[in-house]
Amino acid sequence: TSPLLLLMWFACSASHSAAFTCPQHSKPITALYAAKKQKKKASGGGGGFGGSKAKSTPPSVTPASADIQSLEKQWDNFASITDLEIFPPGDPEDEDYRHFIVADVFVRIGPEDKDSNPGTGWFRTGKLVAADDIDINIAFALQRGLMLWTAAAMWPQLAAKGQLAAAKLMQVGFMPPSMNMADESEPALDEEESEDVQIPQRVAIKDDVSLKNIGFRPDFNPKGFTYKRRERSAMKAKKSGLDEIMDIDD
């Protein structure tokens, strides 16, 4: 896909979030590819919007809260860290290079017990980023409540059993980053696609982790919510860069 076509799609997404630009390289993401895919446990991922699946959270580290203000902050963080890329641009040897890892985020209503089927399929919800040396699993743990809250606002299917009941059974999953983005009409993943969804691992959180170095952005604005301030700025900057290239070519 050319940058020009992406910018045109980006500019036309008035009712949704801005599109991502093409990655400048396609090296495998170590944190998402290196380990063998583990068998997904039916009971993993539940616990309510405020629940954390980390082994331990230091008192100095506060998970992202499940509200609009927190979504704005983490969305800003995502745009600032990634500049709307899904892979880090540039050369790791460059002075201004910043490493980050992006993952596609999915949410579903899980099974009520080990012998039950999931309440829903996996719904594509957004993208998450972990910058510098932060483990992608830590980024999931610290933003888990926010992602579940956002998903419930995006997908009525996830709140069909009532918000409290749904929150206790909701699960977060992920896939390696892609250019794919959902809209309100997109169905849940089918059975074959769902096989590729992984559950974040439970990991210990270091006491020096900052929410400023992780981020989350939904694929489209939840109902009643319109926010993409930094993404508009990023779009203008990228369009300006493209105009310069086109002027040079002329």
pLDDT per position as a tens digit, 154-199: 999 987 765 566 678 899 999 999 999 999 999 999 999 999 999 9
CA dihedral of 197, 46, 211, 55, whole degrees rounded to 10: -100
Q: Cβ(236)–Cβ(243) under 8 Å? A: no
Structure tokens at 58: 């230091």
Q: What is the pLDDT of residue 147?
A: 96
Mind giving me the DSSP string for 97-166?
A: ---EEEEEEEEEE--SSTTSPPSS-PEEEEEEEEETT--HHHHHHHHHHHHHHHHHHH-GGGGTT-HHHH
Give pTM, 2 decimals.
0.73
Phi and psi, residue 107, nearest 5°:
-135, 145
- Cα–Cα distance list, 157 to 7, 130, 247, 249 (Å): 32, 28, 48, 49
Structure tokens at 166: 């749904």
In angstroms, the CA 125 to CA 106 distance is 5
Mean pLDDT of 77-90: 93
